[in-house]
């Protein structure tokens, strides 16, 4: 009798990476595969704290967690005082490059020493590419899971070309220069739409660029690629990536796919406690009247940025719900409590400020009519799935590319990157929420229908998950997908 396949999953230890990879872990466990989910102790502790472990274990008995004590930095543990976003990311990438590989090899060795525990394959985050070499030493194939969209992933594969052509780094006056060397995206992506670290404003951004160049190059050696997207949303980039990888599995939207296959599961990998009282507030609002505002799990705003965006939202006159998680304001101190009275009064009258919410439920609520977002990939995909138009105000990594896709390729929102003044925000909110752009509304509805179809039985993402499970089940620890 063949042993049950054992999949070892290794995410980058951040909310936006853990969430989709844990969802995949539950889907594989539900299909009868054994799964080990290995991640930093710094992430695993809050993850387990916010999971209802008895019900989770009962639902997924073949899924277990493996902590990696890598000292991964958070705002609470870093040695820097009030670190900037680029500083914190540079520290995080240093840990994953210099500390985590050793711990991962030790975990693999430990699993091989236990009879019947050797992994069949590894599913590694696309920016944890050291796993490809490490698993190769044990004869284990690795599937890369890039937690960005296909368009952004395709752009990352051309960063070295952009450097070679002298387009990176670039100056402030060149921001709107179109890029013509990325096949399929000619004259769509501009220099300002590249990841922020391409601007090379400091040494930390230089380290980040080199990190992504190294990771993207190493990722080419993976046996296959998993993406949390659906074919109908990004057909061109998905096809282009098929020229690099022997197999590409598009499984998105993963949360929607999970709900289709495991209807009663509540295991979205949140690292924060959700304030569910916000749903009662939404119940009292008119349909499509509320602007939902969230800049995700990692992005920070300066006090001035927050005030300008806040003024713009308030001046639009629309009801709003704003997620303001702890630590989301850079250099925040007690003196920052001096908020103008007009903002406080308007927020009391027609707004709600909360620390963290069940975002997918919020976006699916009948009262929500728009989303002011950082355009992180999970948020972008969840908004597409819910049929909610977006205003993109991106900050880092793939977010700049995603916000360009929102406006220029998919035409489901407004890109306001590199601006932060109240008039621009107010104008964008009014345009999005007042329904004047019928073409945008039709496109939002069309993409929502495509997302729903993709996860239904026979849909592209549903079929790709079944194919992934079938392929993994056929593997042995010495096989590959090639």
- Whether residue 304 is found in the same domain as residue 217: no
Give the whole-number percent of the chain exceeding pLDDT 70. Answer: 93
Quick: pLDDT tens for 95-123.
Answer: 888 889 999 999 999 998 887 788 999 99
- Kindly state the tokens that stand for 270: 């949140």
Quick: pLDDT tens for 431-461.
Answer: 999 977 889 999 999 999 999 999 999 999 9
- Whether residue 459 is found in the same domain as residue 447: no
Q: Where are the beta strands (DSSP E) in 138-257?
A: 142-146, 224-227, 248-250
- Whether residue 473 is found in the same domain as residue 377: no
- Whether residue 164 is found in the same domain as residue 182: yes
- Whether residue 430 is found in the same domain as residue 363: yes
- Whether residue 254 is found in the same domain as residue 354: no
370 near 390, Cβ under 8 Å? yes
Measure the CA–CA gap between 148 and 12, rounded to whole angstroms: 12
Quick: pLDDT tens for 343-381.
Answer: 889 889 999 999 889 999 999 999 999 999 999 999 999
For range 80-107, the mean pLDDT: 79
For range 213-232, the mean pLDDT: 96
Q: Is residue 332 part of a domain?
A: yes
- Whether residue 49 is found in the same domain as residue 152: yes
Is the pLDDT at 265 greater than 80? The verdict is: no
- Whether residue 183 is found in the same domain as residue 285: no
Q: What was the pLDDT predicted at 62?
A: 95
Q: Is residue 169 part of a domain?
A: yes
- Whether residue 111 is found in the same domain as residue 179: yes
Q: Is residue 444 part of a domain?
A: yes
Q: Which residue has the higher pLDDT, 270 or 158?
A: 158
Q: Is residue 358 part of a domain?
A: yes
If pLDDT is split at 50, 70 and 90, which confidence band does 34 have?
very high
- Whether residue 313 is found in the same domain as residue 235: no
Q: Is residue 1 part of a domain?
A: no
Q: Considering its fold, how many domains does the chain have in total?
A: 2
Is the pLDDT at 79 greater than 50? The verdict is: no
If pLDDT is split at 50, 70 and 90, which confidence band does 220 have?
very high
Q: Where are the beta strands (DSSP E) in 337-471?
A: 351-354, 368-373, 390-392, 413-415
Q: Is residue 195 part of a domain?
A: yes
Q: What was the pLDDT predicted at 480?
A: 47
Q: What is the mean pLDDT of the chain?
A: 89
For range 258-280, the mean pLDDT: 84
Measure the CA–CA gap between 268 and 259, rounded to whole angstroms: 10
- Whether residue 97 is found in the same domain as residue 210: yes
Quick: pLDDT tens for 199-214.
Answer: 877 777 888 899 999 9
Give the 3-state DSSP-derived string for 264-310, with helices as H, strands as E and coil as C.
CCCCCCCCCCCCCHHHHHHHCCCCCCEEEEECCCCCCECHHHHHHHH
Hey, which residues are catalytic here?
Answer: 17, 125
- Kindly state the tokens that stand for 109: 């060795």
Q: Provide CB contacts within 8 A for 232, sequence distance 6+.
A: 447, 450, 451, 453, 454, 460
- Whether residue 11 is found in the same domain as residue 99: yes
Q: Is residue 296 part of a domain?
A: yes
Q: What was the pLDDT predicted at 275?
A: 83
Q: Is residue 482 part of a domain?
A: no
Is the pLDDT at 328 greater than 80? The verdict is: no
For range 52-65, the mean pLDDT: 91
Q: What was the pLDDT predicted at 477?
A: 44
Residue 110, classified by CB atoms within 10 Å of its CB into exposed (0-12), middle (13-18) or buried (19+), is exposed
Domain that holds residue 283: 276-451
Is the pLDDT at 478 greater than 60? The verdict is: no
Measure the CA–CA gap between 286 and 179, rounded to whole angstroms: 43
Q: What is the CATH number of the domain that holds 432?
A: 3.40.50.2000
């Amino acid at each position: 009798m063949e042993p049950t396949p054992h999949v070892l999953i290794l995410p980058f230890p951040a909310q936006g990476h853990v969430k989709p990879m844990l969802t995949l872990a539950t889907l594989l466990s539900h299909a009868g595969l054994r799964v080990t989910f290995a991640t930093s102790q710094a992430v695993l502790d809050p993850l387990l704290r916010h999971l209802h472990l008895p019900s989770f274990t009962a639902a997924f008995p073949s899924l277990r967690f493996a902590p990696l004590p890598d000292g991964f930095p958070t705002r609470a543990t870093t040695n820097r005082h009030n670190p900037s976003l680029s500083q914190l990311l540079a520290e995080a990438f240093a840990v994953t490059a210099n500390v985590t590989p050793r711990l991962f090899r030790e975990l693999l060795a430990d699993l091989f020493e236990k009879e019947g525990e050797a992994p069949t394959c590894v599913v590694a985050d696309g920016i944890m590419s050291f796993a490809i070499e490490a698993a190769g030493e044990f004869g284990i194939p690795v599937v890369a899971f890039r937690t960005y969209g296909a368009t952004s992933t395709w752009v990352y594969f051309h960063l070295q070309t952009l450097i070679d052509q002298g387009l990176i780094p670039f100056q402030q006056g060149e921001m709107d220069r179109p890029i013509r060397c990325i096949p399929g995206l000619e004259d769509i992506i501009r220099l300002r739409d590249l990841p922020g670290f391409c601007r090379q404003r400091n040494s930390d951004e230089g380290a980040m660029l080199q990190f992504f160049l190294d990771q993207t190059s190493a990722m080419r050696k993976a046996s296959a690629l998993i993406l949390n997207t659906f074919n109908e949303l990004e057909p061109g980039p998905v096809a282009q990536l098929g020229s690099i990888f022997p197999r590409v599995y598009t499984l998105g939207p993963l949360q929607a796919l999970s709900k289709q296959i495991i209807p009663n599961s509540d295991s979205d990998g949140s690292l924060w406690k959700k304030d569910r009282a916000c749903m009662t507030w939404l119940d009292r609002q008119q349909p499509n009247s509320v602007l939902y505002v969230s800049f995700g799990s990692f992005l920070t705003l300066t006090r001035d940025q927050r005030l300008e965006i806040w003024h713009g939202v308030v001046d639009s006159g629309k009801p709003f719900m704003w997620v303001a998680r702890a630590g989301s304001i850079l250099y925040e101190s007690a003196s920052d409590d001096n908020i103008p009275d007009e903002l406080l009064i308007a927020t009391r009258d027609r707004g709600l400020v909360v620390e963290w919410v069940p975002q997918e439920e919020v976006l699916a609520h009948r009262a929500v009519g728009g989303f002011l977002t950082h355009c992180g990939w999970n948020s972008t995909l969840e908004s597409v799935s819910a049929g909610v138009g977006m205003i993109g105000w991106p900050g880092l990594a793939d977010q700049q590319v995603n916000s360009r896709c929102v406006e220029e390729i998919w035409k489901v929102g407004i890109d306001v990157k590199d601006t932060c003044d109240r008039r621009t925000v107010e104008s964008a909110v009014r345009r999005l929420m007042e329904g004047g752009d019928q073409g945008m509304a039709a496109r939002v509805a069309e993409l929502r229908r495509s997302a729903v179809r993709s996860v239904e039985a026979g849909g592209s993402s549903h079929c790709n998950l079944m194919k992934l499970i079938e392929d993994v089940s056929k593997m042995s620890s010495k096989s590959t997908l090639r």
